[in-house]
Structure 1
Amino acid sequence: MVKACEDWLIANKFIPEKEVFMFSYFKGNGEDGLHLAYSEDGYTWESLKNDTSFLTPEVGKDKLMRDPCIIKGGDGLYHMVWTVSWTDKGIGYANSKDLINWSEQQFIPVMQHEQKTRNTWAPEITYDEVNKEYMMYWASTIIGAFPETQSTEDSGYNHRMYYTITKDFKTFSDTKLLYDPGFNVIDATIQRQNNKYIMFLKDETKKPVQKNLKIAFSDKLTGPYTEASEPITGNYWAEGPTAININGNWIVYFDKYRDHKYGAIQSKDLKTWKDISDSIKFPKGTRHGSVFKVSSKLLQDLKSE
């Protein structure tokens, strides 16, 4: 009786529908595609569909689906971008109403104009509610660019963050530089807090070693962003941050890729961070993904897959 009453209140929009947390990720090298896990509290995560793929990659030079980033857009659709290859000049894109049935996959050649581009890695999307448009952004190395931080470490990669704007994922603005913090930077992800934008990013510098996460801020989604902060992660190598605010606490999940497990840090003020890695549990083999929210009804549909 209580549940029937609650369902009626939700259906008639008197109370909001309950939401749960979802996590998109890949396993191995990303060959089999999109994996999903869910959590009621943001700490304990359970895989869906027996940890098998929801979507097999079909586009790009290597047909991989690494670093899947999913957001819910202003149109109610779930939009996903991902890394298709280690050496391609574009990214993968698809959308879905239910995370089960997906649109035809697209290859978006965001760096095709720059012939010296070596890679297009870890794309993300942030929805700009003010301008009703989407910013897609990613890390690329352009041969010869930013010589002041060029190194022979990590196969000579020397990334900066780039972006493009779209309203419909059909037409795109010219690609522009999003962030040059003065070091080799990858894996940026951006969240909005009130009228500010928070960029969580990885300092990829290997010599002297960094390989940690930092943050920067801006009044506008497209920047300019402040100088990067001091490291917010500890004495381990971290990558692929994804962040969410749960009950006033910011939680940043990340791939402790050398330790083959997931970690997390937590903060109320984005200044003082506590490592809560021992309090979280992810499916074995989880790699660089993104956290977002879905309705409890959608979760039930996913569980039946």
Structure 2
Amino acid sequence: MNFMKTDSPRFEFADSVVYRFILVFFTRLKMIRGILCLLMGMLLISANPVDNPGPYTAYLFTYFTGGEKGDEQIRFALSEDGFNYIALHDNKPILSSAAISSTGGVRDPHILRACDGKTFFMVATDMHVAKNEWGPNVAMVMMKSPDLVHWTHAVVNVPEKFPEFAHVNRVWAPQTIYDPALKKYMLYWSMRLGNGPDKIYYAYANKDFTDLETTPKQLFFSPTNSACIDADIIYHDGKYNMFFKTEGADAGIKKAVSEKINEGYVSLDRYLDQTDESVEGAGVFKLNNDEGWILMYDVYKKGAYQFTQSKDLLNFTVVDKKVSMDFHPRHGTVMAITTQEYKRLLDAWFPIGNVLSGAQNKSVRSNNTVVEGTTVTLSVSRDTDLSRLDPQFTFPKVYTLKPAGPQDFSKGPVKYTVAMDKKVTEIEVGAVRYGNPVLNGYFADPDILYSEKEKKFYLYPTSDGFVHWSGRRFKTFSSTDLLHWRDEGVILDLEKDVSWAKANAWAPTIVETKRGSGYRYYYYFTAGQKIGVASSDSPVGPFVDKGKPLIDFKPQGVNGGQEIDPAVFLDPVSKNHFLYWGNGYMAGVRLHDDMVSFNQDSVRVLTPDATFREGTYVIFRKGIYYFFWSEDDTRSAEYKVRYGTSDSPLGPIRVARENIVIRRNDTLAIRATGHNSIIQIPGRDEWYIVYHRFTRPQGDAMGGAAGYHREVCIDRLKFNADGTIEQVIPTLNGIEPVALH
């Protein structure tokens, strides 16, 4: 978690004598509901003019997380500065979609403060892609709350309520705004009739915000007659600014402007999103510190969210480097809240132990902190001095924490007190030294190399933690003992260094070759479900891509699967190099001496048996070739490693009855141990397995998302006297430092 201090309170018109006079005047005239809302809308420059409930000091972000099971539900997050957010309720839903919707799923939540300053409206798309795919969805959910914690709801099925819209097959992304002329709340959303383009429609809510009381009317359509969706209307300087997404060839975020809330919008011929990626779900909110506006949007194919900032709602600058989130949102909205509301939300959905889950000390593996009620256990690196450990906790500023600074954790848990107002809680914090994971952060599919040139070990993992494995950069790490790893930085960036693919940077492998008195490194990697190769004179790069895929075809006889997960192997017998790959099938081929080509007719399909899924790795020991592979899906807790043996680097592969190399350890809550590589200590019959697992302990609650929140671990690999492999029990302690000499 990263919390930033807010600026000191600024002067607000709402605090002035003039404002108080106006408030009393119109209150006495009993005209506050209409005229005051309009006046404050012009003077406070607010997207939704409201009675002032007090200075806004924080932000509430409401969002959903994706299209898989359990994702299409409303979640909340908080921020103190509009840039750095923490998820409430451990990123679990704050409302059950099964209870509030007709489909079992909701998307695209929009939240609004009512004119009275203390009532809140939320609307969402009634849609469940995980269950119904993208089939017709024709309803929206309307919700109302007096406190942001307790919500009532109602479902509005458009074709059922309005027979003239019987041919509607899409009702998407509803939002709400107050119409000061009619003194009513206007809902607007994108809707498609038959095979026509999506257009923006509007209707007015009833007094109780449980239904629509007017027939939908067209509000706006794309000037190019293509679809337009995801509208967000912001009132500023006497005009209504409608941000929307165009579809088709001109897809992107644009803006239309009108002096009236429900008609007359004129589109500006200008894209406002600051990326070439596919985007949707534009959301605009004003910063509390008077530093302008934020336009954010869902970069959905990349699994990212982009924030841009503007002073005039027209010229936007990317500010992603200022943004942090401990969750992956999809299409949501942000609303300013008061300190009292901020505290109320924390009290309702932020477990007190989480206050001490954000340790920033580099020796603390923050992803592995265990919170159980009022007990917190920190996972720290093996050589941490527990007698003088300062966790460097960061937490919401409405809390106070004692004691501060370094504490002695060597004798057991340390007692901290956390206070918010008059509520004081005692929390016990312990610290345990673990060797696994060996890298701090989310990484997966580790390939390991011992460099004869550098006399070091190098790890080459997938950079993980991105929705649907959408990472785009590769890093490497170096070590002299397999326990302490140094981040050597990015060695290949798809966006900058690769011309033929820009997404899905997965599962690399590397080999060191000696040419005369020098060394050359060949780095095989997955990008866009194809395999490429890049080379360098150093194990830490920079690497130069070949310029086109090395593998973008299926072997003869293979109809399914993916061309991913390369593994390179130097055969000590023949001195030839071999390359293996495949998801759903295992393929192998001998590389030419240039290391960047091979005879396609020589490719062999080596799939050992039905347990093979992906992640081939090959070693040679005492005359035997060992083939390793992963079984099941990386999103499954049952993901595991198996092996077979052969007399040749190109098979056939013999599969023993008992051939599991490593699998889950439920005693220690270690799940999904797979996609391995193997390293031999030079000159010794000493072997180690490098693999990834679900992040621990959060992975168990993540569902499928645990499959892209993985961590790299190392444990000892042992062989029995007959050459079979002794099953590895994955550990938290990991290994002792390895001495090379």
TM-score range, shorter chain: 0.7 to 0.9
What is the CA–CA distance in structure 1 between the aligned matches of 2:71 and 2:154, rounded to whole Å? Answer: 17
User: Alpha-carbon deviations, 1:202-242, whole Å to 9, x = none?
Assistant: 1121xx3x331111101011121002431111211111011
Q: Which residue of 2 aligns with 1:132?
A: 183
User: Could you say if the C-alpha distance between residues 195 and 15 of structure 1 is closer, same or farther in structure 2, counting changes exceeding 3 Å?
Assistant: closer
Amino acid at match of 2:172: W
Cα displacement (A) at 1:32: 5.7
Runs (5+) with no aligned partner, structure 1: 1-5, 146-157
User: Could you say if the C-alpha distance between residues 283 and 179 of structure 1 is closer, same or farther in structure 2, counting changes exceeding 3 Å?
Assistant: farther
Q: Which residue of 2 aligns with 1:149?
A: none
What is the CA–CA distance in structure 1 between the aligned matches of 2:341 and 2:94, rounded to whole Å? Answer: 14
Structure 1 outlier segments of 4+, above 6 Å: none
Of 16, 40, 45, the residue aligned with 2:85 is 45
User: Alpha-carbon deviations, 1:101-160, whole Å to 9, x = none?
Assistant: 111x21112344312111101111112234321111111111144xxxxxxxxxxxx211
Question: How many residue pairs are counted as aligned between the two chains?
Answer: 279
User: Alpha-carbon deviations, 1:12-42, whole Å to 9, x = none?
Assistant: x999344311110011236562111111111
Residues 1:19 and 2:57 aligned together: yes
Q: Which residue of 1 aligns with 2:96?
A: 56
User: Could you say if the C-alpha distance between residues 185 and 50 of structure 1 is closer, same or farther in structure 2, counting changes exceeding 3 Å?
Assistant: same
Q: Which range moved further: 247-256 or 56-65?
A: 56-65
User: Could you say if the C-alpha distance between residues 18 and 226 of structure 1 is closer, same or farther in structure 2, counting changes exceeding 3 Å?
Assistant: closer
TM-score by length of 2: 0.36
SS at match of 1:300: helix
Q: Which residue of 2 aligns with 1:161?
A: 200
Q: For the Cα contact (< 8 Å) 2:123–2:140, is it kept in 1?
A: yes
TM-score by length of 1: 0.85
Q: How does 1:1-305 map to 2 (within 5 A)?
A: 16-29=54-67, 31=71, 33-57=73-97, 58-75=99-116, 76-85=118-127, 86=134, 87-103=136-152, 105-112=153-160, 113=163, 114-145=165-196, 158-168=197-207, 169=209, 170-182=211-223, 183-205=226-248, 208=249, 210-233=250-273, 234-246=275-287, 247-305=290-348
What is the CA–CA distance in structure 1 between the aligned matches of 2:75 and 2:229, rounded to whole Å? Answer: 22
User: Could you say if the C-alpha distance between residues 283 and 137 of structure 1 is closer, same or farther in structure 2, counting changes exceeding 3 Å?
Assistant: farther
User: Could you say if the C-alpha distance between residues 15 and 163 of structure 1 is closer, same or farther in structure 2, counting changes exceeding 3 Å?
Assistant: closer
Q: For the Cα contact (< 8 Å) 1:132–1:167, is it kept in 2?
A: no
Amino acid at match of 1:106: A
Q: Which residue of 1 aligns with 2:477?
A: none
Give the share of equivalent positions with the same residue, in percent. 26
Q: For the Cα contact (< 8 Å) 2:282–2:298, is it kept in 1?
A: yes
Q: For the Cα contact (< 8 Å) 2:159–2:167, is it kept in 1?
A: no
Amino acid at match of 2:171: T
Cα displacement (A) at 1:272: 2.0
SS at match of 2:345: helix
What is the CA–CA distance in structure 2 between the aligned matches of 1:50 and 1:193, rounded to whole Å? Answer: 35
Q: For the Cα contact (< 8 Å) 2:53–2:338, is it kept in 1?
A: no
Q: For the Cα contact (< 8 Å) 1:61–1:88, is it kept in 2?
A: no
Q: For the Cα contact (< 8 Å) 2:171–2:191, is it kept in 1?
A: yes
SS at match of 1:302: helix
Amino acid at match of 1:46: I
Q: For the Cα contact (< 8 Å) 1:32–1:56, is it kept in 2?
A: no
Cα displacement (A) at 1:67: 0.6
Runs (5+) with no aligned partner, structure 2: 1-8, 10-14, 21-51, 128-133, 349-741
Q: For the Cα contact (< 8 Å) 1:74–1:132, is it kept in 2?
A: no
What is the CA–CA distance in structure 2 between the aligned matches of 1:165 and 1:65, rounded to whole Å? Answer: 21
What is the CA–CA distance in structure 2 between the aligned matches of 1:171 and 1:139, rounded to whole Å? Answer: 15
SS at match of 1:298: helix
User: Could you say if the C-alpha distance between residues 201 and 283 of structure 1 is closer, same or farther in structure 2, counting changes exceeding 3 Å?
Assistant: farther
- Between structure 1 and structure 2, the one with the greater Rg is 2
SS at match of 2:266: coil
Q: Which residue of 1 aligns with 2:692?
A: none
SS at match of 2:158: coil
